[in-house]
Amino acid sequence: MAVGDSLARLKRAFAAETEVEHQRIAEWSLSFKDQSLVIWIEDPWGDLSSAPEAARIKANMNKPLQLRGAQDVIESGCIGILNRNAASAEITFTLHGEPSVVSAVQVRAIKSVTAGDGKLVYDALMRLNRDTPVVVLPNSVSYLWLTIDFS
């Protein structure tokens, strides 16, 4: 019985997520007509979405990501990347700043994981090599998590 209930919740969550994503793709087409790639800053501790609203993206576009902290503090930041192309996109990035600080920054790909209730949650699982491009699937959103240890 519990397995059946869990599978039913999972199916409902996937169906609802798919419907929202189709609506968002249409919204993104209207809001970002001339932009095939859209990049914005996200709250690293907030709720991430596989299909964020265009207004949420626009409110956080064209802002620099600044990681500042005191000695012995770990700071984090998050970057969202929307690929509106019909094909996968490879993104390369460069970090700027004091070399000793830049070398201390860790970059991870945030991946969605299905929770027991069928909802997607995000976790910064995959550490990225800075020389390797980040692949963003067509009509989808990817997130990068940046962490720096100021010790």
How high is the pLDDT of residue 124?
Answer: 67
- Give the closest residue to 68 by CA, choosing from 105, 121, 18, 120: 105
Two structure tokens written together for 4: 């059946």
How high is the pLDDT of residue 103?
Answer: 84
pLDDT digits (tens, 9 = 90+) for 35-84: 999 999 999 888 888 889 999 999 999 988 887 777 787 888 999 999 99
Alpha-carbon distances, residue 33 vs 16, 29, 52, 90, 119 (angstroms): 26, 5, 16, 20, 30
pTM for the predicted model, two decimal places = 0.79
How high is the pLDDT of residue 18?
Answer: 47
Domain boundaries, the chain: 2-149
How would residue 113 be classed by pLDDT, with cut points 50, 70 and 90? confident
